[in-house]
Structure 1
């Protein structure tokens, strides 16, 4: 009994320390964002008169409104395509007998091991050769392709754990592969699909490097690209930089809080096992 209490207390202490490490950066950014303009915040120093107007100033200075629309449009296109293609491919790899399936699957595994930065230059010349540079598709197509390897591996692991009895019962009832996928397995895979949508949303919304390289028009970049507006040649507006960073992070935090139960359910179900 004493040992279980000791283990529980140790677990709580570790959890509290982990929470503090997670919350500390946000508190530091918030305290810096509420300081007077032109100051150089150090550490966590909350003032008696917080300058909440800094958030409005950061929004206007970076002209975030068109960037918000651009990021939203990018997410609306990229996330559904990645989730749909990953679900179809994951189901095919897990349940169907595809010639050379193992070879194709290993190619997707290899795609996960390639550092993202090494792909930027080839992507630039490829998009330029296709005549899509500085268009909406210049970001949409690469982001769909870059997120697919992880999505396919994620969904394959999910579909591999589906109850075999349900699949056999649907086959006896005359259901084909597509009907089994649509009516039985897809509803059961909802937690994994929701988790994949969250992760794809985060990767798309926070994309910075590709947006800067492939889009010369600042209004077509992502919200993360707004951070450039606070960095000058000779100085950086630290206060507005932190305020802008918090504005950019706010949508991702809200989405994760709303859908966190699906993410946790997918983790508990072991959907990321290989």
Structure 2
């Protein structure tokens, strides 16, 4: 009987995984099958076309000006992710390892930021960016996103630094290393899995940013790819096939980056669980 219980649990776990996989994959398969249908048709259900129209992806690429959107998204991502990771890592290091004065109060403010929904900040954020003359520029996305990501980013990196043994910093002090040298040569290399996983999360959130992009930027070519999808869908509302093809091309880079960095992401999660 005791041997049957683990087997049943294992079977139940596999069944749950299969269900989750199907729930995740089926919408993507539906998008793909729809994107390969003849343009102007209205596909229903999940059915693979007898003659796939692969040229729909080329048409969507041209119609949506995907190359300009790809450049715009890369500019926003490269402006947001590295700065957010750097600032959050340094802030978390200062709060946990340097024991700065008021560190706990500062961290409490970051926790408070986690409770504030983005929608609640949209109107004051819009007015502030308008007064600064940054509306309809990529800075209208980069600067707010860095600020909005800080609470979670500091919380994430703080969890890593809290799990490091105090002996590491003590050994660095004994060897005569400065705080900056200990940070660069000891703590940052040990934090690579946490930093990589945080960068992956911030990349996915930035790449898929929709609300700020459509509210703060009028020019679709200056938005992220996900933000420009709204304008593309509006322009081709009667061509669901083309919209699905464009949606898949927007999703593809995020999937590729996740597959490339998933090893670091899983490693960071396993380290947190083990500690």
Same fold (TM over 0.5): yes
| Pairs within 5 Å for 1:64-83 | 64-83=66-85
1:182 to 175, 181, 184: 184
Q: TM-score normalised to the size of structure 2?
A: 0.94
Find the aligned partners of 1:261 and 1:24 in 2 and give their Cα distance.
24
1:6 to 5, 8, 11: 8
Structure 1 residue 133: deviation in Å? 1.6
TM-superposition CA deviations, 1:85-136 (whole Å, max 9, x none): 0100011111122222221111111111111111111111101111112222
Moved more, 110-119 or 162-171: 162-171
Unpaired runs of at least 5, structure 2: none
Give the aligned partner of residue 37 of structure 2: 35
The count of aligned residue pairs is 273
Structure 1 residue 3: deviation in Å? 2.5
Give the aligned partner of residue 252 of structure 2: 250
TM-superposition CA deviations, 1:168-220 (whole Å, max 9, x none): 21122122222111111110100000001001111111111211222122211
Query: Is 1:136 aligned with 2:135?
Result: no
Structure 1 residue 57: deviation in Å? 1.0
Query: Is 1:57 aligned with 2:62?
Result: no
Give the aligned partner of residue 92 of structure 1: 94
Give the aligned partner of residue 121 of structure 1: 123
TM-superposition CA deviations, 1:48-74 (whole Å, max 9, x none): 111111111111111111111010111
Find the aligned partners of 1:200 and 1:71 in 2 and give their Cα distance.
13
Give the aligned partner of residue 153 of structure 1: 155
Cα pair 1:195 1:266 within 8 Å, conserved: yes
Structure 1 counterpart SS, 2:6: helix
Give the aligned partner of residue 47 of structure 1: 49
Cα pair 2:40 2:238 within 8 Å, conserved: no
Structure 2 counterpart SS, 1:8: helix
Q: TM-score normalised to the size of structure 1?
A: 0.94
Change (3 A) 1:117 1:236: farther
Cα pair 1:230 1:236 within 8 Å, conserved: no
Find the aligned partners of 1:234 and 1:169 in 2 and give their Cα distance.
63
Change (3 A) 1:139 1:4: same
Q: CA RMSD in A?
A: 1.8
Structure 1 counterpart SS, 2:272: coil
Change (3 A) 1:235 1:217: closer
Query: Is 1:25 aligned with 2:27?
Result: yes
Find the aligned partners of 2:129 and 2:29 in 1 and give their Cα distance.
40
Cα pair 1:154 1:272 within 8 Å, conserved: no
Cα pair 2:36 2:52 within 8 Å, conserved: yes
Cα pair 2:110 2:151 within 8 Å, conserved: yes
Change (3 A) 1:176 1:90: same
Q: Which runs of 4+ in 1 moved over 6 A?
A: none
